Each structure stands twice: as structure tokens, then as C-alpha cells.
Structure 1
Amino acid sequence: MKTQDLQLKYRSLIVILALICSAFLASAQTPQQLFETGNSQYAQNNFEEAIKNYEQVLDAGYESAELYYNLANANYRLNRIAPSVYNYEKALVLKPNDKAIKNNLQFAQNMTVDAITPLPENTFKKWWNQLLNLFSLDGWAIITVVLIMLFTLSFLVYYFGNKTVLKRSFFTIAFVSLGLGLLSLTLAFQAQSNEKNKRFAVVFSPEAEIKNAPNIGSDEVFVLHEGTKVRVIEEQGDWQMIRLADGQEGWIPKADVKLL
């Protein structure tokens, strides 16, 4: 009798464990499913739940421009300035020429308190930066490889060709592709340098005092508010030295900003 009772208890325990495992597996979602669930919640104006689902995708180690864009939109609908700007900026890193991201980022930036006028750029620098921003570092690297290959093939056809017209045409193609390849290579190195040397962050604190030295007792030089984008120049302990687009510099506690 005791043996039968013991067997019955074991069977009951196995059934319970099986039910628990089944419930866990049913509730577990893949990153794609979480993303789609977040989109569904967003469509129903349930922005808090949408944010939770999008953040679970990020926690799982997945990211995309669409994910950051949707996460930014959900925060924007809740009037959360800093998370909106931050996630639009993250999306823009992955898709630097996306018009929708740029437009929505502008809307989010319009909610910020700080009005910062960037330093003026000369015409050449402006054109250079516009050209540089056409593609990412990987994009310029791929273009460079393609152009160098085109130069090599064109030069071989020119060198071994017999017809004068053919040789002239491929010499021109080789010359142009070499020039464009060197320009593309220069832009690739510039993009790489920018990625290494330019670290940006977004202010998350509602109000942050910017100091003239990395300690709490130093003098305040100016105040920033949430959503403002800054460039990080240096780190020292719990402080970061930042520079604004208008050239102002100062020290801010690390806890007040979030690196992009």
C-alpha cells in the first residue's frame, strides 16, 4: 500500500513538473516574437508593454534600426525625452540616411530645454561631412574594395589589349577608378577615426550641473537638461568631460548621461 502511495506521489510530481515546463515553454518567446508582440502592443496604444517587449529583445543581445526606432517612438508617445532621443540616435547609427529616423529625432529634440547652436562650418567642411555621412565605415570599405578591383581589371585590359580605342577607354576607367578608390579609402579612414575618437552620450538626468572640474565642490559653468546630446572627451573616476556642439566644455557625473 505504501509503495502504491509513493508511486502515486511520484506520478503527481512528474505531472506537475511537466505542466510547469509546458507553461514556461509556452510563455518563452523568441526575440522576433517579442518584437512582433511589442509592435502589436504599440498598435493598441499600450506603450508601456511595447517598451518592455522591445527592451527584452535588447536584453537578449539583438538590435536593429527598426527596434531602436520603435522603442524611441513608444517613449516619445509617453513624452519621455531622453529615451526618445537616445533610441533615435541609436537607430540613426545603424541607418545614417534614414529620413523617418532623422525627422522623428528632430521632433524629439524639439522637446528638449537646451537650445544649442552648433559652431559654423566652412563650405568645404560642410560638403566633406555630407559626403562622409553618405555611407557607414563598412559602406566606404566595400566601395573602396570594389573600386580597387575595377582599377585592377581595367589596367589589365589596358595593358594586354591590342586595340587603341580599347586601351584608351580602359586607361580612362582605370585612372578614374583609382582616383575614386583613393578618395573612398580616405573617407573610410576618416569614418574609422570618427568612430574611435567621437564618443557621444545623451543626458538622462532632468537637470545636470556641469562643473569646471571633476569634483562635486567645483564651480558650476552651466546646466543641461534631459535629452541633450553631448560629446564625451575624457573620463576621470565618476566624471566625464563633455563638449557641446557650440564648443562649451565641462565635467558631468557619469550617472547623469548614457553613452550611445
Structure 2
Amino acid sequence: MKKLLYILSFLFSFGLFAQNDALFEQANTLYNEGKYGEAIDKYKTILDTKNHSVELYFNLGNAHYKLNNIAPSIYYYEKALQLAPNDEDIKNNLAFAQNMTIDAIDVVPEAGLSKILNNAANTMTFDVWAKVSIGFVFCFVILFLVYYFAYSSLRKRLAFLGSLASLTIVCITLLFAFHKFNLDKKNKPAIVFAKEILVKTAPNNRSEESFRLHEGTKVQILDTVDDWKKIRLQDGKTGWVSSEDIKAL
């Protein structure tokens, strides 16, 4: 019975993959024909099946950008960038979309060791850092075995130095992996989807207005109280907005 369920599950997954692949090609054709709205509908149909990919998010961003949909284009470029943080095409297109936003927010620059660690950790995702660590663990084990069983003093010396280097790299990559994990855990970005929102000093409509934001602006979610989100901007300003006005990444 279990085998039958596994087979049925496999066939369903394979059929769904084939269907999504066909939908993706149809959406790309619509995009190339300039039918951006119809292309978006096709891409979203794939998203509804819980299928996520860099290409899917990137193409959704491109289609929304063509329609001058500021917030959705930035949102999907950011989603693509989460999966491929070093992709230059995504970064360039995201920069073009961000140029359409109204809010000019100064970024508080990082400095010192924190900046170096963050920049290094963000070069790869947590999963990639973990895989690199595992790879060098295997290298360490193999080189240590070579050192242990080698008869030649030269081979022993080289194997020992190689295993020592592998172990050092394992420690460094693990450090970056856990640092990246902590960064991702603290990182709760969102995009403003409303045309204009009033940022409040407290999580209620009776509180005073602190400042205003417009669609496409990226914020960090700090806290949630009922239907309100506490946000922080890149320049350090904080305030409360309605949960309906932003969309978490």
C-alpha cells in the first residue's frame, strides 16, 4: 500500500512539474508578445502550486516593471534576490525599479568588523555555507586518513598540512554559516504596497503621525500588535503601520 502511495505521489509531482514547465513557457511567450498582465496571471498560477524559483520571481518582477507596478516589481525582484543574492541582472533590475519610488531614505552605513562579517556572510546563503562546510569536512577526513596511512614523510607532511587547512576552513565556513543564519533570522523585510501610508507613533489610529511612506519602499518588521506592524527604515526611523499596507518578504 505504501509503495502504491509513493508511486502515485511521484506521478503527481512529475505531472505537476510538467504542467508548471508548460505554464512557464506560455507565460514567457505572452511576455515576449507584450501581454504582461496575462503573463503575470500565468506566473502566479505556478506560484499557487508552491513552486518557487529565481527565474519565476525575476520574470514576475520584469512583467510588473513593464506595467509600472512599482511595489510588486520591487517585491518580486527582492524575492529573486533572496534565492540568488549575487545575481547581477536581478540587482540591476531592482535598482531600476527602486528609481521609481518617491521616498529618498539615507542608509546608515555599517563600519568596522561588523561590516566585513556581514558582507562576507551575505555572499552565499546559509544552505550553501553549510554545504561548503560539509565538503571540507570530507576533505579533512580523507587527508587525515592519507596522513595516518602514508609511509612517505613528504606525503605525511603534505597530508597533515592539507588536513589542518581543511579543518581551519571548516571552522571559518561554520562561523559564516551561523552568522548568516542569525542575520536571516533578524532580517524581516517588507515592501510598502499602498500608494501612501501614515506611519504612526503607536499601534492605533488615534496616535500621532510620525512620517509618511509611499509604495515600493523597503522596511524592516520589528514587532506585531494585532493588525499593526512596527517598522524600521534604513535610516533608523521607526513607527507603526497597518498590516494591510505592507507585504512581508
Q: Same fold (TM over 0.5)?
A: yes
Q: Which string of whole-angstrom CA distances, capped at 9 and with x for unpartnered residues, describes residues 75-115 of structure 1? A: 10111100000000011111111110010000001111111
Gaps of 5+ in 1: 1-28
Q: Which residue of 2 aligns with 1:210?
A: 199
SS of structure 1 residue aligned to 2:39: helix
Show the counterpart of 2:84: 95
Structure number with bigger Rg: 1
Aligned AA (2:224): E
1:200 corresponding residue in structure 2 = 189
* Candidates 81, 86, 93, aligned match of 2:70: 81
Q: 2:120 aligns with which of 127, 131, 135?
A: 131
Higher deviation after alignment, 114-123 or 175-184: 114-123
Within 5 A, what are the aligned runs for 1:1-260? 30-260=19-249
Q: CA deviation at 1:254?
A: 0.3
Q: Report how far residue 125 of structure 1 moved.
A: 2.9
1:162 CA drift (Å): 2.2
Cα distance in 2 for residues equivalent to 1:136 and 1:152: 25
Task: Name the CA distance, whole Å, in 1 between partners of 2:153 and 2:106.
Answer: 58
Equivalent AA in structure 1 for residue 195 of structure 2: P
Deviation at 1:30, TM superposition (A): 1.9
SS in 1 for 2:27: helix
Given residue 52 of structure 1, which amino acid in structure 2 is its aligned partner? D
What is the TM-score normalised by the length of structure 2?
A: 0.90
Residue segments in structure 2 that go unaligned for 5+ positions in a row:
1-17
Greater displacement, 81-90 / 91-100:
91-100
Q: Letter of the aligned partner of 2:49 in structure 1?
A: A
Using the TM superposition, give the Cα deviation of residue 121 of structure 1 relative to its aligned residue in structure 2, in angstroms: 1.4
Q: How many angstroms apart in 1 are the aligned matches of 2:132 and 2:49? A: 33
TM-superposed CA distance for 1:127, in Å, is 2.7
Give SS of 2:203's match. Answer: coil
Please state how far the C-alpha of 1:123 moved relative to its aligned partner. Answer: 4.3
Classify the secondary structure of the residue corresponding to 2:109.
Answer: coil
Count of equivalent residues: 232
SS in 2 for 1:30: helix
% of aligned pairs identical? 45
User: Which residue identity does 2:114 align to in structure 1?
Assistant: K
Deviation at 1:188, TM superposition (A): 1.0
Task: Measure how far apart 1:194 and its partner are.
Answer: 2.1
Mapped partners of 2:128, 2:77: distance in 1: 21
Aligned counterparts of 1:117 and 1:165: Cα–Cα separation in 2: 57
* In structure 2, distance between residues paired with 1:51 and 1:235: 31
For residue 160 of structure 2, what is the amino acid of its counterpart? F
d(CA) in 1 for partners of 2:106 and 2:161?
A: 45
Per-residue Cα deviation, 1:121-179 (whole angstroms, up to 9, x for no partner): 11433332222122111100000001111112212222332222111111111111111
Measure, in 2, the Cα distance between the counterparts of 1:160 and 1:30.
54
How far apart are the structure 2 equivalents of 1:242 and 1:162? 63
TM-score w.r.t. length of structure 1 = 0.86
Quote the Cα distance in structure 2 between the aligned partners of 1:212 and 1:179.
49
